[in-house]
Amino acid sequence: NFKMKLFFKMGKPCPHLRVFFKSDDKNAFENNSVIKVAFADDHPLYLVSVSAIIDNHAAFRVIIKATDGKDLLDQLSKSINPDIVLLDLIMPRMNAIETIPVLKKKVPGAKIMVLSGYSNTIDIMLIHQLGADGFLSKNAGAPELLEALQKLLENGRYFPGYESLLL
């Protein structure tokens, strides 16, 4: 028998995130019912804070924390594949624009969301053309971050305010 576990967001049921698991399963992560996230950002405080927000939600687990695109790609070869990859747009060594094409080949099933403190239309169009599945401003709060991850999984993309430009 399968049980359906309804996860909660901000103390209220979140109808979009339902995870199915066998009643005898003890470790949801091992049974692929937790959404695995890899995250690369060159600002340590932001990397740790956002990772904590994600890990605090029962449906998500950050499996890789990297300081730039190269670090992320190095860690990917030693880890299981993530379901979602979050990338800071501007990072040393390999930024998101350099990392996206490599990620699309290395983990083709992963959804890629770019984060940036600057929402420049040209950059958003470029990351979309390179294969990014979403964009989120670093000015977003925790509820918006979690909602963005959910919508990315549900709809396959998340570009709030830019959808008409990306048709």
Q: What is the pLDDT of residues 78-122, one digit of tens each?
A: 878 999 999 999 999 999 999 999 999 999 999 999 999 987 899
User: Half-sphere exposure (CA, 13 Å, Cβ side) for 36?
Assistant: 17
Interatomic CA distance for residues 135 and 132, integer angstroms: 8
pLDDT at 7 over 70: no
Q: Is the pLDDT of residue 20 over 90?
A: no
Q: What is the CA radius of gyration of the chain?
A: 16
Report whether pLDDT(26) > 90: no
Q: Is the pLDDT score of 144 beyond 80?
A: yes
pTM for the complete prediction?
Answer: 0.81
